[in-house]
Amino acid sequence: MSKKIITPVKEFEEFLTPEYKELIANGPYNRDKPTTVDDLGTFYEMTGPHPHCAGCGVSLAIRLGLASLPAPEDTIVIGTPGCSYFALTQSTLNYSCTAFGNQNSVASGLKRMLKVRHPDKQKDVLVMVGDGGVADIGLDNTLHSWFRGENIATVMLDNEVYGNTGGQESGMTTEGTVLNMAPTGKKFPKIPMFELAKTSGCVYAAKVTVASPKKVGETIRKAILVAREIGPTYVQVYGPCPTNLKFPPSKTIEAAKDGEKSYYKYEEYMTDGAKEYLNRSKA
Ligand SMILES: Cc1ncc(C[n+]2csc(CCOP(=O)(O)OP(=O)(O)O)c2C)c(N)n1
Ligand SMILES: [Mg+2]
């Protein structure tokens, strides 16, 4: 996509919002080099008012991810209902929301269509959805897209709860956690999605938390690059939810750090093919 596509004709200019003008003048598209998390704050990766609760870990994970795309102008983000939807509809990117859980099927079809429609251009398809979307309702769609070896990157925004619908447990909630709608505590451990990714065909997988912002950016970027040619990829980002996990909004990074020190340790997996591809693209 060139900047020309989003630049309106002169007659239209007076009707544009300041955010849209800013996007054309200073957005992440077609820069000399792609933005990274170091560039956060120099452009709007989301427009309009902040749509999330104070201290939202998912919101931070999305901002870090959107700032790290190798080619934002040629990326389509696929989402599904959940808290992430509110930010992604306000993002300065191509975004489409699927029916709940269908994201990896829609992304598979879209990627295949883009390969046919643009054989000479790399078009990245990035799935960005909540833990309930990946590990519960979309689990079969997600795993099958991995078994089939689709060239898509999947990012789970893991806040360990159904945040958007008031606090039901998800498969990614930790065992014993009490939530608004799990008053006696969750009865089974977190689903091992990272391990499932490795055994189900992902050629790159990483587990990170928002307490390590650069790692979030780097792993999402690698996942998108590797998905272009080698196969499906997966990044699981822990962004704790103060509203439902009931800690003060100012403690989100602390909560993520606690996770990083215990059950949410940084992990990265890649096949030889993925490693070789990343080395090649670096060169
Ligand atoms: C088919 C279907 N079932 C249920 C819902 C209701 N629903 C919307 S979002 C959501 C939970 C989302 O949880 P998660 O994926 O963890 O995202 P979060 O809101 O925590 O970011 C549910 C159950 C729906 N929209 N569609
Ligand atoms: Mg969730």
Distance from C-alpha of 254 to C-alpha of 6, rounded to nearest angstrom:
40
| For ligand 1, mutation pick of 53, 78, 83 (most atoms within 8 Å of CB) | 83
Sheet of 124-130, strands arranged across: 94-97, 75-79, 124-130, 153-158, 233-238, 204-209, 267-270
Distance from C-alpha of 74 to C-alpha of 30, rounded to nearest angstrom:
10
Q: Ligand 2: distance of its center to the CA of 36 in Å?
A: 25
What angle in degrees, to the nearest 10, is found between the helix axes of 103-117 and 139-147? 40
Q: Which ligand is nearest to the CA of 159?
A: 2
pLDDT given at position 4: 80
Distance from C-alpha of 278 to C-alpha of 283, rounded to nearest angstrom:
9
Q: Ligand 1: distance of its center to the CA of 114 in Å?
A: 28
- Convert the pLDDT of each residue in 181-239 to its tens digit: 999 999 999 999 999 999 999 999 999 999 999 999 999 999 999 999 999 999 999 99
Atom 9 (ligand 1) nearest CA: 82
Tell me the domain boundaries of the chain: 34-282
pLDDT given at position 44: 79
pLDDT given at position 7: 86
Nearest to 274 by CA among 197, 216, 208, 222: 222
Q: Which CATH number fits domain 34-282: 1.10.599.10, 3.40.50.970, 3.40.1440.10, 3.20.20.70?
A: 3.40.50.970
Q: Ligand 1: distance of its center to the CA of 175 in Å?
A: 20
Atom 4 (ligand 1) nearest CA: 100
Which residue did the predictor score with more confidence, 33 or 177?
177
Q: Ligand 1: distance of its center to the CA of 137 in Å?
A: 8
- Convert the pLDDT of each residue in 35-74 to its tens digit: 999 998 888 777 677 789 999 999 999 999 999 999 999 9
E strands, the chain, in order: 75-79, 94-97, 124-130, 153-158, 204-209, 233-238, 267-270
Q: Ligand 1: distance of its center to the CA of 136 in Å?
A: 10
CA atoms within 13 A on the CB side of 5: 8
* Geometric angle at alpha carbon 50, from 45 and 56, rounded to 5°: 95
81 lines ligand 1 (CB under 6 A): yes
Q: Hey, what long-range contacts does 11-18 have (CB within 8 A, 24 or more apart)?
A: 17/47
Give the 3-state secondary structure percentages of the chain, helix then strand then coil, rounded to 5: 45, 15, 40
